[in-house]
């Protein structure tokens, strides 16, 4: 698995968890104090978020970091 593929897998997982909560990208962005465009780029696999950013997203989604990056 290469970097881009991993980014896309994690992005899809974030989308799945966000939708399960009934949240929009804007809702998630507000919950983790990011801008909506940043969330969009992460979900689309266009950026490689820092570990801390993934941690903030996991906290906002109320899941463990391990669940967020589950492969």
CA proximity to 13, closest of 56, 57, 47: 57
d(CA 41, CA 24): 14
Q: Are 58 and 68 in contact (CB under 8 A)?
A: yes
- Give residue-wise pLDDT tens across range 18-71: 999 999 999 999 999 999 999 999 999 999 999 999 999 999 999 999 999 988
The pLDDT value given to residue 30 = 98
65 by DSSP, 3-state: which?
helix
The pLDDT value given to residue 55 = 97
Give me the domains of the chain, ranges plus CATH numbers: 3-68 (1.10.260.40)
The pLDDT value given to residue 49 = 95
């Amino acid at each position: 698995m290469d970097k881009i593929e991993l980014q896309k897998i994690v992005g899809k997982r974030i989308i799945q968890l966000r939708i399960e909560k009934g949240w929009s990208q804007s809702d998630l962005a507000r919950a983790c104090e990011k801008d909506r465009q940043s969330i969009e780029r992460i979900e689309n696999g266009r950026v490689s978020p820092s570990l801390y950013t993934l941690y903030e997203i996991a906290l906002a989604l109320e899941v463990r970091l391990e669940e967020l990056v589950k492969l």
